[in-house]
């Protein structure tokens, strides 16, 4: 009797696991969601500013459902579009990225790159993500410069280890960005220094929300920090949250809006996945609208 009960329990557990995997790969992975957050950082008499934050597309050719969903975000009429990296998952997907973002080129935009804008994803043992000291695996080189040309050709500004000012909707925004910290491509010395004070708001961009970068940006006075990379944990435990972050940030900040010292930090859970791990569980793919409003 005990042996039969054990076999039954094992069978039920296996069936539940199979059902969860099917849901994560066939359903939730395609449940694209728009998050909305109010960020109180503007002066009392300022008009709100809408920032559309997109991250971690990880596109492959013919990923039409995601392409159409991203393109539809142009209807939000954002004041600024921010793209925080990992756009590619295939060497022939630059035109796919272009198709997704082309309607958004009508609006001011800025971008930084992630590792999957330089190197293709590779097959990994998912348990290696629990080892913070693991060695990074480099996939085949991706057409980075072709992607950069598409984005800058659309009028967006390249902020990989660079700074700029953007005028939009009657406001001036100071923005600083670093190249991908996950693969140690960031060089904060190139952008270091106090955030400009003669602007309406200052924003810092990084693909991976590594504390060493966030600390520098917050210390320099950047009021809003935007990042991606974490996928929100990608596979989460309901009621507990993310198991891993794939970077140095605390797992409680793996996605969403948080205070980071005197700054606000928004980490996007992103819209895509590696083609070698096409699942999401308790962590829907997302883009976000951050409405900057007057501070209390």
> Is the CATH number 3.40.47.10 carried by domain 31-294?
no
Q: What is the pLDDT of residue 14?
A: 47
Q: Give the pLDDT band (50/70/90) at residue 248.
A: very high
Q: Give the pLDDT band (50/70/90) at residue 226.
A: very high
pTM assigned to the model: 0.93
What is the DSSP track for 222-287?
-SEEEE--SGGGSBEETTTEES--SSSS-GGGSSEEEEETTEEEEE---S---TTS---BS---EE
How many CB atoms lie under 10 A from the CB of residue 45? 6
Taking each helix axis from N to C terminus, what angle separates 94-101 and 64-72, rounded to the nearest 10 degrees?
Answer: 30
Between CA 231 and CA 270, with CA 235 as vertex, the angle to 5 degrees is: 20
Locate the domains of the chain by residue range: 31-294
Tell me: pLDDT of 64 over 60: yes
Residue 150, C-beta contacts closer than 8 angstroms, at least 6 positions apart: 94, 97, 98, 101
Torsion sign across C-alpha atoms 65, 66, 68, 73: positive
Rounded mean pLDDT, 186-190: 98
Q: Which of 13-22, 85-94, 247-256 is predicted least confidently?
A: 13-22
Rounded mean pLDDT, 182-204: 97
219 burial via Cβ count (<10 Å: 0-12, 13-18, 19+) = middle
Average pLDDT, the chain: 92
Tell me: pLDDT of 65 over 80: yes
Q: What is the pLDDT of residue 277?
A: 93
**Chain segment 117-151, per-residue pLDDT in tens:** 999 999 877 767 767 767 777 899 999 999 999 99
Q: Which of 13-22, 58-67, 231-240, 279-288 is predicted least confidently?
A: 13-22
Tell me: pLDDT of 2 over 60: no
Tell me: pLDDT of 18 over 60: no
**Chain segment 70-83, per-residue pLDDT in tens:** 999 999 999 999 99
């Amino acid at each position: 009797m005990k042996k039969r009960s054990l076999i039954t329990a094992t069978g039920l557990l296996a069936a539940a696991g199979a059902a969860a995997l099917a849901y994560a790969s066939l359903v939730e992975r395609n449940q694209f969601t728009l998050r909305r957050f109010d960020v109180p950082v503007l002066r009392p008499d300022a008009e709100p500013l809408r920032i559309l934050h997109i991250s971690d597309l990880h596109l492959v050719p013919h990923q039409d459902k995601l392409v159409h969903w991203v393109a539809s975000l142009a209807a939000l009429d954002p004041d600024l579009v921010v793209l925080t990296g990992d756009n590619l998952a295939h060497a022939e997907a630059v035109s796919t990225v272009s198709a997704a973002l082309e309607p958004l080129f009508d609006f001011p935009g800025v971008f930084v790159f992630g590792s999957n804008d330089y190197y293709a994803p590779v097959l990994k043992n998912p348990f290696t993500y629990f080892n913070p000291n693991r060695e990074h695996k480099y996939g085949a080189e991706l057409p980075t410069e072709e992607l950069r040309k598409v984005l800058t050709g659309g009028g967006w500004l390249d902020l990989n280890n660079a700074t700029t000012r953007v005028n939009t909707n009657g406001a001036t925004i100071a923005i600083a960005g670093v190249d991908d910290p996950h693969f140690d491509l960031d060089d904060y010395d190139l952008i270091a220094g106090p955030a400009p004070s003669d602007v309406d708001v200052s924003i810092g961009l990084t693909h991976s929300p590594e504390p060493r970068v966030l600390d520098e940006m917050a210390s320099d006075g950047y009021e809003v920090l935007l990042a991606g990379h974490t996928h929100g944990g990608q596979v989460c435990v309901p009621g507990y949250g993310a198991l891993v972050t794939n970077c140095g940030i605390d797992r409680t900040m793996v996605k969403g809006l948080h205070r980071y010292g005197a700054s606000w930090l928004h980490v996007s859970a992103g819209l895509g996945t590696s083609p070698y791990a096409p699942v999401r569980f308790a962590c829907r793919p997302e883009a976000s609208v951050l409405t900057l409003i007057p501070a209390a």
